[in-house]
């Protein structure tokens, strides 16, 4: 059984190698990589709505929207706001319609990756100071204090013990005679109405 598996694996690898050679021979379209596509670069892109026709538009890159190389081209935003995938690098004369001001905006400052998640903690000037530090104890639900209960003595010196005892036991609201924990009192009250 292992021999037939190995033979099938060799055949599959041979077919894959043949397919790779054919694609390389045909000259599959190569798209620029991330080192070539930088803010300010002159590129030809295909807009999303033009993908079926393959019509390209020239412009200068304002934002690179894809982090890594992509087989259909790196997604970018041009200086005029249009978004598409880079098909090739354009000559500077093809992008002459772009103004010098657009090029300056595209190349100054750090690149802003719009539409992607970013760390808001780095944008203190936009959102003000960060929230105060909190420990895990801020999220612990504290039990509610029990109201009423029996007081011990006249001085109330045992109030803390009384609170603990009241939390542990309660009396029957129907007859006032039965005393026990909450589950026992609930069962006792149910017997009054059976």
Residue pLDDT, tens place only, 133-142:
777 777 777 7
Domain boundary among 85, 114, 143: 114
The pLDDT confidence band at residue 60, using thresholds 50, 70 and 90, is very high
Q: What is the pLDDT of residue 160?
A: 55
Domain annotation covers residue 93: yes
Range scoring the smallest mean pLDDT among 45-49, 107-111, 113-117, 122-126 = 107-111
Distance CA 34, CA 70 (A): 9
pLDDT at 102 over 50: no
Q: Which of 7-11, 24-28, 139-143 has the highest mean pLDDT?
A: 7-11
Q: What is the pLDDT of residue 91?
A: 80
Domain, as residue range, for 71: 42-114
Dihedral sign for Cα atoms in the order 20, 24, 28, 29: positive
**How large is the average pLDDT for residues 151-169?**
56
Domain annotation covers residue 97: yes
Give the pairing of strands 42-47 and 56-64.
antiparallel
Distance CA 173, CA 9 (A): 80
Q: What is the pLDDT of residue 103?
A: 46
Q: What is the pLDDT of residue 65?
A: 92
**Whether the predicted model's global pTM rises above the 0.95 cut:** no
Task: State the total domains in the chain.
Answer: 2
More confident residue, 15 or 68: 68
Domain annotation covers residue 82: yes
More confident residue, 133 or 191: 191
Helix H or strand E segment including 110? none
Helix H or strand E segment including 89? strand 83-89
Domain annotation covers residue 88: yes
49 and 106 fall within a common domain? yes
DSSP 174: T
Domain annotation covers residue 148: no
CA separation, residue 26 to residues 16, 20, 22 (Å): 15, 10, 6
Q: What is the pLDDT of residue 127?
A: 64
pLDDT at 61 over 90: yes
Q: What is the pLDDT of residue 107?
A: 45
Domain annotation covers residue 47: yes
Q: What is the 3-state secondary structure (H, E, C) of 18-53?
A: HHHHHHHHHCCCCCCCCCCCCCCCEEEEEEHHHCCC
Q: 106-135 burial, b for 16+ CB within 10 Å, e for fewer?
A: bbeeeeeeeeeeeeeeeeeeeeeeeeeeee
Distance CA 40, CA 61 (A): 5
Distance CA 63, CA 83 (A): 9
pLDDT at 3 over 90: no
**How large is the average pLDDT for residues 126-155?**
68
The pLDDT confidence band at residue 62, using thresholds 50, 70 and 90, is very high
Residue 165 structure tokens:
């005892």
The residue written with tokens 């009423």 in the block is 148
Domain annotation covers residue 22: no
Domain annotation covers residue 55: yes
């Amino acid at each position: 059984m292992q021999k037939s598996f190995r033979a099938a694996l060799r055949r599959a690898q041979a077919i894959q190698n043949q397919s790779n050679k054919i694609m390389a021979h045909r000259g599959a379209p190569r798209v620029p990589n991330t080192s070539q596509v930088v803010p300010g670069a002159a590129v030809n892109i295909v807009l999303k709505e033009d993908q079926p026709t393959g019509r390209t538009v020239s412009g200068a890159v304002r934002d690179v929207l894809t982090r890594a190389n992509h087989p259909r081209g790196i997604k970018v935003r041009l200086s005029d706001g249009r978004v598409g995938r880079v098909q090739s690098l354009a000559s500077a004369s093809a992008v002459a319609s772009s103004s010098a001001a657009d090029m300056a905006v595209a190349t100054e400052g750090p690149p802003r990756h719009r539409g992607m998640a970013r760390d808001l903690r780095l944008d203190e000037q936009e959102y003000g100071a960060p929230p105060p530090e909190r420990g895990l104890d801020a999220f612990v639900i504290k039990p509610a204090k029990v109201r009423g209960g029996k007081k011990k003595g006249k001085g109330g010196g045992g109030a803390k013990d009384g609170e603990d005892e009241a939390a542990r036991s309660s009396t029957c609201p129907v007859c006032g005679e039965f005393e026990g924990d909450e589950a026992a009192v609930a069962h006792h009250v149910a017997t009054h109405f059976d």
